[in-house]
Amino acid sequence: MWYRVLASLALVASSFAAAKVGFYSFMSRPAVDTTPAPVGPSAVCNPGRSLFNLFGPLRQEPVEECGVRKNRQSPIDIQSDEATLAEFGHWDFQNYNRNFETICVFNTGSTVQWVLTASHRPSVAGGGLPGRYILEHIHVHWGRVGEGGSEHTVNGERYALEFHFVHYHERFANFEDALASSELDALAVLGALVEISDSYQPNPGIENLLPDFKAVEFPGTGDILPREVYNLHDLLPNDKTKFYRY
């Protein structure tokens, strides 16, 4: 069974019958005057959808604590017929196509997280973002076999995998400072939704990640993998010109 990062869609209903969305971006900080984000597992809103070593039941109900953000709720169900067509300009990815000599991988207990420690940190600008954002880490959400594991849904449809590329604005010294700032543009996340089918060709990005799961089999473990790793573009759709943004 092979994996494919889905092709993106223009935000028009006529296109939706031919393809499925695979790319979106969102600003991930709550408004300053909203209720503070919850602490503990609910702070990630939907940790149960990342079933690593089968920790606990798959969450089917919405997490109540996430609703305090109101119009800044995340994750969401993206409704294509409610989206507004807009031109955000081209993405400007830097160092996304570089190999990395080492990578740190962690099992957080709710997901697997990859941190790139190279001096040539990947970054992204454009796409409507207010500046350049530096990649801090990548993590993935998934579910049991035959059950969608993505946090976000599109028109109610849940996908097999969902990758999050978590970035912080370059004006901050590091990710921790950006996270603590509560500024609305401090963080930006690119997401990729993935479907699985025997008819697809192997995806080199995902195939390269699979051995890392074995390296951090148990919660709370981590490892530094001394090897070259993947072109990050392999984890994103080929067509990045069409995407959802919120």
Q: Please tell me the class of the 2-245 domain.
A: alpha beta
Residues 6+ apart with CB under 8 A from 210: none
pLDDT in tens, 86-105: 888 889 999 988 777 678 88
Instruction: Tell me the pLDDT of the chain averaged across its residues.
Output: 70
CB 208, CB 105: distance < 8 Å: no
- Looking up tokens 């207990």, which residue turns up? 109
Token pair of 220, please?
A: 């709370």
Q: pLDDT grade, residue 24 (50/70/90)?
A: low
pTM of the model: 0.74
| Distance from C-alpha of 60 to C-alpha of 158, rounded to nearest angstrom | 11
CB 120, CB 102: distance < 8 Å: no
pLDDT in tens, 128-169: 899 999 999 988 888 776 777 788 888 888 888 888 999 999
User: Could you please report the per-residue DSSP string of 77-99?
Assistant: EE-GGG--------EEEESTT--
| 3-class SS of residue 214 | helix
| Distance from C-alpha of 188 to C-alpha of 194, rounded to nearest angstrom | 20
Reference 103, options 218, 205, 237; nearest CA is: 205
Domain boundary assignment for the chain: 2-245
Identify any residues that bridge with 138 across adjacent strands, giving them in sequence order.
114, 165
Identity of residue 244? Y
Reference 142, options 206, 190, 202; nearest CA is: 206
Of 204 and 172, more confident: 172
Token pair of 65, please?
A: 């604590």
| 3-class SS of residue 170 | coil
Stretch 57-63: mean pLDDT? 39
pLDDT in tens, 190-212: 988 888 777 777 777 777 777 78
| Distance from C-alpha of 188 to C-alpha of 116, rounded to nearest angstrom | 17
Strands in 101-186 per DSSP E: 103-107, 112-116, 123-126, 133-142, 153-154, 157-158, 161-169
Percent of the chain topping pLDDT 70: 66
Rg (C-alpha) for the chain, rounded Å, is: 17
